[in-house]
């Protein structure tokens, strides 16, 4: 249960280093002060901790490395590395972010975003359920996180209520990528082949052991989650696991009396036994129950540009020199799936005029939005709504009547550069002073 941050009470007198770590005095690697044990899962313990230097709250999951010595040690090691690289890539307002990993000979520590509101389960009322309206809000956030992960080729495969946390604003945070599989694990038939998940949330095609698609099993689990939030009980439940699996396989469940017919319709499409005809993410987003009251898909799914927050207006000679890529040590670092670039143009146009031209052009393009740029006096941020890119266009005065247009881009290596290449760059070239020696 990677990342579970629940409030399970444990025996704090257990004589191991984790229990000692739960006392106030322990500081991990001189960096994180352990505050309290949040929960215990199958693979490790989760603590609430605080960064010593910044005071920032984090959740730290400590996992034993003893499985590495076992028979499947090699596969387990590969799984750990894969899991870290997946979690590193996942940055979405409704998924728990991984900040750092630490390790000793005996343990691995995952330093993650802290979800101050705890488990979503604690948000249900005394009778164990939620109104449809409240459940809709969390379901919308869940679907946006799942859609994001799927579009990055990452399937959760163990979605369940215990993995849904909320932050201090009561917004959803999906955690536990412990069983996530990237596309690399897809077999030659395009199907996933590892049996995993938690019994009550497992899709029927997994039980059939014929291989399955990560997309459809996640959608099934979302259906179980939605049903449970509103009904107050699991759609499929039995103490006897054989009987439980039989119920799932047959798709046997009963709706409570109080649910709306739109709700029933959506759930029946989510818990469709046939993965081929089960509702898709796109269809969910158009479903009448899902859309009621309106839903704004969160667009801030891009990682921020890597930069500190120093706002500059005029450039001096040293600013110009620091443009050199020979001085740009960040070139030493490999960046995940995103490409980071900076390009600059010198122009005689007025800053306001340049911004006008950029905004005017973006206004004619679909799925690209203009945002305020907090790090610039004169500038805008452009974001692709598909999460493909973020571009900051900033204008600095070099001298009277001469400005530098700086363009910082972070874009997906695949398919992230089209807007820049075909629209924005040609526009800026038009505004720029041309290099005398540049070829025509």
Partner 1 sequence: MSCFCLRKGKPAKTNHDQFIMLASETSFTVNEVEALLDLYKKLSSAVIDDGLIHKEELQFALLRNSSKQNLFVDRVFDMFDIKRNGVIEFTEFVRSLSIFHPNASPEKKIEFAFRLFDIRQSGYIGHNELKEMVLATLTESDVTVPDDAVESIVEKTIREADSNGDGKIDGKEWKEYVGKNPSLLKMMTLPYLKDITLAFPSFVLRTQVEHC
Among 71, 325, 364, 372, binds partner 1 (CB under 8 A): 325
Binding flag, residue 276, partner 1 (CB under 8 A): no
**Which residues does the annotation mark as catalytic?**
158
Binding flag, residue 335, partner 1 (CB under 8 A): yes
Among 6, 10, 19, 31, binds partner 1 (CB under 8 A): 31
Binding flag, residue 105, partner 1 (CB under 8 A): yes
Binding flag, residue 432, partner 1 (CB under 8 A): yes
Decide: 25 and 32 in contact? Cβ < 8 Å: no
CB of 230 to partner 1, least distance (A): 37
Q: Which two tokens mark 176?
A: 């536990």
Binding flag, residue 23, partner 1 (CB under 8 A): no
The verdict on whether residue 61 carries a ligand-binding annotation is yes
Q: What's the CA angle centered on 99, arms 96 and 101, to 5 degrees?
A: 115
Q: Per CB under 8 A, which region of 38-46, 79-87, 160-168, 421-429 contacts partner 1? A: 79-87
196 vs 143, 193, 199, 332, CA distance in Å?
Answer: 21, 9, 9, 39
CB of 207 to partner 1, least distance (A): 33
Number of residues located near partner 1, criterion CB under 8 A? 65
Binding flag, residue 324, partner 1 (CB under 8 A): yes
Binding flag, residue 7, partner 1 (CB under 8 A): no
| Gap between the Cα atoms of 285 and 386, Å rounded | 15
Q: Per CB under 8 A, which region of 186-194, 205-213, 266-274, 302-310 contacts partner 1? A: 302-310
Binding flag, residue 19, partner 1 (CB under 8 A): no
Decide: 281 and 150 in contact? Cβ < 8 Å: yes
Q: What track of x and - describes contact with partner 1 for positions 373 through 412 (by CB under 8 A)?
A: -------------------------xx--x-x--------
| Gap between the Cα atoms of 162 and 6, Å rounded | 8
| Gap between the Cα atoms of 145 and 143, Å rounded | 5
In which residue are the tokens 């924005």 written? 424
CB of 49 to partner 1, least distance (A): 12
Among 9, 126, 310, 414, binds partner 1 (CB under 8 A): 310
Residues 6+ apart with CB under 8 A from 277: none
85 vs 78, 91, 110, 150, 351, CA distance in Å?
Answer: 11, 12, 12, 15, 41
The dihedral sign for the CA sequence 112, 80, 416, 187: negative
Binding flag, residue 103, partner 1 (CB under 8 A): yes
Residues 6+ apart with CB under 8 A from 48: 5, 34, 35, 36, 37, 38, 57, 58, 59, 114
- Specify the 3-state DSSP secondary structure of 23: coil
The annotated binding site for ATP is made up of 61
Site residues, partner 1 (CB under 8 A) = 28-31, 53, 65, 68, 77, 80-81, 84-85, 87-88, 98-105, 107-109, 306-308, 310, 312, 315-336, 344-346, 398-399, 402, 404, 432-436, 438
Annotated binding-site positions: 61
């Amino acid at each position: 249960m990677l990342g579970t941050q629940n409030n399970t009470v444990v025996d704090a007198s257990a004589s191991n280093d984790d229990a000692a770590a739960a006392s106030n005095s322990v500081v991990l690697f001189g960096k994180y002060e352990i505050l309290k044990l949040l929960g215990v899962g199958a693979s490790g313990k989760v603590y609430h901790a605080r960064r010593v230097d910044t005071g920032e709250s984090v959740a730290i999951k400590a996992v034993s490395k003893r499985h590495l010595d076992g028979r499947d040690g090699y596969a387990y090691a590969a799984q750990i590395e894969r899991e870290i690289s997946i979690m590193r890539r996942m940055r979405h307002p409704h998924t728990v972010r991984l900040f750092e990993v630490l390790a000793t000979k005996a343990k691995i520590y995952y330093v993650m975003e802290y979800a101050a509101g705890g488990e979503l389960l604690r948000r249900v009322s005394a009778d164990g359920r939620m109104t449809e309206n409240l459940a809709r809000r969390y379901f919308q956030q869940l679907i946006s996180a799942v859609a994001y992960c799927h579009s990055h080729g990452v399937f959760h495969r163990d979605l369940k209520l215990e993995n849904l946390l909320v932050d201090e604003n009561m917004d959803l945070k999906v955690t536990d990528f412990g069983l996530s599989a990237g596309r690399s694990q897809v077999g030659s038939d395009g199907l996933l082949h590892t049996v995993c998940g938690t019994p009550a949330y497992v899709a029927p095609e997994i039980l059939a052991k014929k291989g399955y698609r990560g997309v459809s099993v996640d959608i099934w689990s979302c259906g179980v989650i939605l049903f449970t939030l509103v009904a107050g009980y699991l759609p499929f439940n039995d103490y006897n696991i054989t009987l439980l699996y039989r119920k799932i396989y047959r798709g046997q469940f009963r709706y409570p009396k109080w649910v709306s017919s739109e709700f029933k319709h959506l759930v029946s499409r989510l818990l469709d036994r046939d993965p081929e005809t089960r509702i898709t993410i796109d269809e969910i987003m158009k479903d009448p129950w899902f859309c009621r009251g309106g839903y704004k898909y969160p667009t801030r799914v891009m990682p921020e540009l890597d930069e500190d927050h120093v706002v500059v207006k005029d450039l001096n000679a040293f600013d110009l020199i620091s443009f050199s890529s020979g001085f740009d040590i960040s070139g030493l670092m490999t960046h995940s799936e995103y490409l980071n670039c900076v390009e600059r143009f010198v122009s005689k146009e007025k800053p306001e005029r340049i911004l006008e031209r950029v905004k005017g052009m973006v206004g004619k393009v679909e799925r690209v939005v203009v945002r305020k740029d907090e790090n610039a006096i004169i500038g805008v941020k452009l974001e692709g709504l598909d999460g493909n890119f973020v571009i900051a266009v900033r204008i600095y005065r070099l001298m009277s009547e001469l400005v530098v247009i700086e363009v910082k881009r972070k874009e997906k290596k695949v398919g992230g550069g089209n807007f820049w290449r075909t629209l924005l760059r040609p526009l800026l070239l038009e505004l720029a002073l041309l290099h005398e020696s540049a070829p025509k």
